[in-house]
Amino acid sequence: MDEVPEKSTDDVAGEGGRPRGKRRVAVLLWVAAVAYALDLISKIIVVERLEGEPAVEVVGDLLRFTAVRNPGAAFGMGEALTIVFTVIAAAVIVVIFRIARKLYSTPWAIALGLLLGGAFGNLTDRVFRSPGVFQGAVVDFIAPAHFAVFNLADSAIVCGGVLIVILSFRGLDPDGTLHRD
């Protein structure tokens, strides 16, 4: 016999009668803003100080910072599909905002905030960087040995995705529902 999913106490009003779901959306937006700001600031610094310069060794040969313009996706694949990646990033942002309306879980708010901040970071590059609107190349600069070059937006997206997988395996839904098997 299946158990009825339990509802978290997050769906009730908190102090002052404010619904706690609004706080979760605030967490999502705060995490997204921090992730976006860190990505944007790091890319501004990289473009100003590293572009056209030799790589900077951070941890010997294991980790370097080097400015790379990537018109494609991960590992430089799909360089001719920049517009497709732009549309995908915009769609991800729309989906996150739709999910946020029913958000009652702080861990999900953090995960979605990371995804949102990362998507906005790379979307900003694709819209505003050369060679033109919706054709811009993403600025990547973190270069671990024997791995692709990436940026802080990519890191936020991966961390958010990993957190979503963990939350899903634990049975926690964005609406605060906990499924027990």
Which of 39, 125, 140, 175 is the catalytic position? 140
Which of 39, 125, 154, 175 is the catalytic position? 154
Bridge pairing between strands 56-59 and 63-70: antiparallel
Confirm whether 154 is a catalytic residue.
yes
The answer to whether the CB of 50 falls within 8 A of the CB of 143 is no
Query: What is the rounded CA–CA span in Å between residue 16 and residue 181?
Result: 35
Q: How many residues does the chain have?
A: 181
C-alpha angle 107-112-113 in degrees, rounded to nearest 5: 95
Token duo for residue 138: 């993403």
The answer to whether the CB of 172 falls within 8 A of the CB of 181 is no
* Residues recognised as catalytic: 140, 154
